[in-house]
Amino acid sequence: MSSTRTHNGGATEEYRRGLSDTERMLDSLLNSLPRDTATDLRELFSQLADEEDSQIRAEIGATIKELLLPQSLQVELLKEYEEEDPAIRERLGTYRKKVGQEIKRCRTKLKLTQALLAEKAGIPQSHVSRLECGVHVPTHATIERIAKALDTTPSRLDPGF
């Protein structure tokens, strides 16, 4: 029985260390957020607090993750691949730009401003801008929301969908 306590105590200590490491990483991430991203997150968290529909809450959550993860995990993962093959960085950049250009093309065809598209899709206008400029690759949830707002299919905006 004492070995069980020791084992569980070790697992508990490992869990506490993991939480502490996670807290430090989260603090670092939050302190390094650009002002426009922090503003977008504040708006999204406000929408999340007011939303009752679970599907929309999940979509808002996916958008929040989309804004946070490029600053942490996705960027680090991409760096690993970029170091291995510089052509990957070029292909990713080209891909982001193509998706952004298609979003913009569809938006301007409908004579929508970025602000109107953002409102219809339920995402911040600055996020639409970053997508159109090819700074971010949108998540599937965001592509679906934008496609619906533009009355098109997700695969029309993102051929990899």
pLDDT, tens only, 105-146 = 999 999 999 999 999 998 888 889 989 998 877 888 889 999
Q: Name the helix (H) or strand (E) containing 73.
A: helix 73-84
Mean pLDDT, residues 44-61 taken together: 84
Phi first, then psi: give them for residue 129, nearest 5 degrees: -60, -45
Tell me the chain's radius of gyration from C-alpha atoms. 20
Query: pLDDT over 90 for what percent of the chain?
Result: 27
Summarised one tens digit per residue, pLDDT across range 64-101 is 887 776 544 444 555 555 555 677 667 778 888 999 99
Q: What are the angstrom distances between the C-alpha of 129 and each of 27, 44, 56, 124, 139?
A: 27, 16, 22, 9, 15
pTM (2 d.p.): 0.57
Name the 3-class secondary structure at 159. Answer: coil
